[in-house]
Amino acid sequence: MPGPGVAAYLILSVILFATGAFGVLIRRSPLIVLLALEIMLNAGNLALIAFARQTGTGTGQIFALTVMVVAAAEAVVGLGLIVAVSRRHVALDVDKLTTLRG
């Protein structure tokens, strides 16, 4: 009996990506939108690492590590923006944040 192949990991990754996309679309709190974005990035990482195992080269793992760094940077800047918005006493609701100055 063979172990789980790359197709099984890819299906998992697709379902996880769709979950994250659903969260980004449906939630109104920017904090949870950021959390769902992390889920989408991690689904991409899972596919990259599954392909790295499939082809037997380490390049996919390097790519996944780089994605991880970009995700950390994105979380820093995104959370900074959320804190800056909340200091101006604007409602934390992505449907209401429609103007950049104000």
Partner 1 sequence: MTNFIVWVVWVLAALALLSSGIAVVLFQNPFYSALALIGNLASLAVLYLLLAAEFVAAAQVLVYAGAVVVMFLFVIAYLGGRADAPWAGKPSPQSLAAIVAAAAIAVEIVVVIALKAGDQLSTPAQIEDSFGTPAEIGRLFLGDHLLAFEVTSIVLLVAAVGGVILRSAVPRESRS
Q: What is the SS3 assignment for 9-60?
A: HHHHHHHHHHHHHHHHHHCCCHHHHHHHHHHHHHHHHHHHHHHHHHHCCCHH
Q: Residue 4 or residue 99: which is nearer to partner 1 going by CB? A: 4
Residue 97 engages partner 1 in binding (rule: CB under 8 A): no
With binding defined as CB under 8 A, does residue 90 bind partner 1? Answer: no
Binding mask 19-58 for partner 1 (x = CB under 8 A): xxxxx-xxxxx-xx-xxx-xx--x--xx--xx-xxxxx-x
Residue 12 or residue 97: which is nearer to partner 1 going by CB? Answer: 12
- The answer to whether 18 contacts partner 1 (rule: CB under 8 A) is yes
State how far the Cα of 12 lies from the Cα of 7, in Å rounded to an integer. Answer: 9
CA–CA separation, 5 and 3 (whole Å) = 6
Binders of partner 1: how many residues, by CB under 8 A?
A: 72
What is the amino acid identity at position 81?
L
Taking CB under 8 A as the criterion, which residues in 63-82 touch partner 1?
64-66, 68-77, 79-82
